[in-house]
Amino acid sequence: MDYVPHSQIPGHKVKQTGAVSLKGIKKQFNFKDRELKVLSEFSLDVQPGEFVSIVGPSGCGKSTLLRLIAGLDDTYDGTITLDGQRVAGTSLERGLVFQDHRLFPWMTLEDNIALALTNRQISKDAKAKLVADHIALVGLKGFEKAFPHQLSGGMAQRAAIARSLVNEPKVLLLDEPFGALDALTRVHLQGELQRIWLAQGSTMIMITHDVEEALYLGDRVVVMQANPGRITHTVDVNLPHPRDRASPVLHRLKDEILAELTNVPEAPNSVVRLIKGDDQ
């Protein structure tokens, strides 16, 4: 299958900024006297405005990867650049949405979103407008004065997305953003995220456990394996947005990726023997 650049996909707003490049990323954690390799020689190039989904088993270093790009962790080898500039520390150009919404419980929804603007040198009115626009973007108009505990899980996560977008970052990183939500809300928010991405046009890198979600949203799906975390496969999804969940192409790709994720070559011998035993 040939790769169709996202800029040729109908309905997509073209952006010139937001190219993320990871080269030879190595990251390890030290547990007492043991070294645990989390990422090994990880390289990935993301085009401006592209939506890249990353799937992989738990512990393959997916979340660590996003934290490195976000700048929450600076201890790694290799280079990460955004539009050719090496990233150092956190920046308003790189947004991050966590699995938990991480809204502050004592602030109203609009105060939570406005917190993201405290480092911006713009007028009060401009800030208020940005906040209002982004509340509208995620469909939470009318809930400006609500506290997080008054919102449903899905609404709180939308508010978190609004907060991460209010600075109009060049790249938005999403760490299993819908992982804690029920299936129905998840499907709904996937559609919402697609709409927001098409409207905003920023680069998005999303981590997920859900292969269907990865394929439904991603221009490209990166499959990772653990120990150490590395890319084993990349799948281009050449379908226009917004997509049809029932598309046979998505189903075929899903089977392909699931087969790869579940058929771990270095499976312990005992597991293999158990399966054999069942056959007899």
Partner 1 sequence: MKPDLKLILSVSSPLLLLIVWQAVTAFKLFPPEVLVSPTAVVAAFGEVIATGELQRHLSESLTRLAGGFTTGASLGLLFGLALALSKTVEQVFGPTFQALRQIPVLAFIPMLILLLGIDEVFKIVIIAKAAFFPVALAAYDSVKGVPKSYFEVSSLYRAPWWVLISKILIPATIPNILAGVRLSLTRSWLVLVAAELIVADSGLGQMMEMGRQMFRLDIVMVGVIVAGVIGFGLDRLFQLLQAHALRWKTA
Smallest distance from the beta carbon of 113 to partner 1, in angstroms? 10
In the complex with partner 1, the residue whose CB is nearer, 173 or 224, is 173
Smallest distance from the beta carbon of 182 to partner 1, in angstroms? 23
Peptide bond into 10 cis (omega under 30): no
Smallest distance from the beta carbon of 72 to partner 1, in angstroms? 6
Smallest distance from the beta carbon of 201 to partner 1, in angstroms? 21
The Cα-based distances of 173 to 112, 128, 141, 152, 208 in angstroms read: 19, 24, 24, 22, 11
Smallest distance from the beta carbon of 83 to partner 1, in angstroms? 18
**Which of 167, 178, 153 lies closest to 53, judged by CA?**
178
In the complex with partner 1, the residue whose CB is nearer, 160 or 253, is 160
- Rounded to whole angstroms, the Cα distance separating 172 from 184 reads 24
As a whole number of Å, the end-to-end CA separation of the chain is 41
Smallest distance from the beta carbon of 87 to partner 1, in angstroms? 13
In the complex with partner 1, the residue whose CB is nearer, 175 or 212, is 175
In the complex with partner 1, the residue whose CB is nearer, 118 or 280, is 118
Residues that bind partner 1 (CB under 8 A): 70, 72, 90-92, 95-96, 98, 100, 102, 104-107, 115-119, 147, 149-150, 163, 167
In the complex with partner 1, the residue whose CB is nearer, 118 or 269, is 118
In the complex with partner 1, the residue whose CB is nearer, 180 or 231, is 180
